[in-house]
Amino acid sequence: MADEVENLDEQRKLEENPFASLKISSFEVLRDAERSTCKKCKASRKYYCYKCFDVVGIERSMIPFVSLPLQVDIIKHKGEVMGKSTACHAAILAPDNVTIHHFPTIPQFKSKEKVILVYPSETALSLGDLEKKTSSNDCTHFDHVIFIDSTWDQTHSIISDPRLADIQRVKLENATTYFWRPQRKPSTCLATIEAVYYFFKEYQKYIMKSDYDGQFDNLLYFFVFQYLLIKQKKRKSKRQKLE
């Protein structure tokens, strides 16, 4: 009986905060943040500017920096609303490694053999399978990874672009989304920042062949904060209705 109660308590904690085990920096600076004017575009923002990819009303040194082993190119569909996209989180938190391109702009690569495209197509391999099919040197020579930032209905126009042909597709293993916006899609359909995060966790395991120790957890810094904030507001609203 005691074990059952303990298991229920653990389940409740997990439902309340599924990110509790992650090594994420303190949110204190975000809790104190006020809406301010972006220094670059002069728009009114809170926490960060999703257009300029910079924090707003906060000292940048107070926000974590994440260093990634590959350069990240995110191709954004023109129909994807900037303010609703999580792609900007990657550009803000890993500014030295992340570039966002607005389709039909697609980056040019000197060697497509050194590029990975994260997309669950029929020909896509998991990173584990990719590692098995190629030599260690072939896997570690990758220098760029591409993500597509769009709704699933908008993806086809980007993924079918001939400029992305002959680039190795990879798919992620058993990752589950916690995105708060209704998707009407399976739980394996991830928000962009979730896809970036899970990719690098798997890259560390299968390609770098080293234990994961939270090196990339801060990629979810804004995502987790917003998730918990929305959860908190929903609980408060529910209590008010009951009262």
Note down pLDDT in tens along the chain; length 243 residues.
544 434 444 445 556 789 999 999 999 999 999 999 999 999 999 999 999 999 999 999 999 999 999 999 999 988 777 878 999 999 999 999 999 999 999 999 989 999 999 998 888 999 999 988 776 555 568 999 999 998 877 888 999 999 999 999 999 987 889 987 766 666 778 999 999 999 999 999 999 999 999 999 999 999 999 999 998 887 766 666 665
Cross-strand pairs, 108? none
Which of 169, 100, 79 has the alpha carbon at shortest distance from 129?
169
pLDDT at position 234: 73
Indicate the DSSP class of residue 214. Answer: S
pLDDT at position 82: 80
Phi and psi angles of residue 79, each rounded to the nearest 5 degrees, phi first = -85, -5
Q: What is the CA radius of gyration of the chain?
A: 19
pLDDT at position 239: 61
Asked if residues 114 and 144 have their Cβ atoms less than 8 Å apart, the reply is yes
- The amino acid at 50: Y
Q: H-type helices in the chain, by residue range?
A: 2-16, 28-31, 87-93, 127-133, 136-140, 155-159, 192-206, 221-242
Cross-strand pairs, 162? none
- The amino acid at 27: F
pLDDT at position 135: 61
What is the value of pTM for the model shown? Answer: 0.89
pLDDT at position 143: 94
pLDDT at position 6: 47
Indicate the DSSP class of residue 104. Answer: T
146 contacts: CB under 8 Å, gap ≥ 6: 72, 73, 74, 75, 107, 115, 116, 117, 118, 164, 167
Which of 177, 187, 170, 201 has the alpha carbon at shortest distance from 66?
201
Asked if residues 202 and 127 have their Cβ atoms less than 8 Å apart, the reply is yes
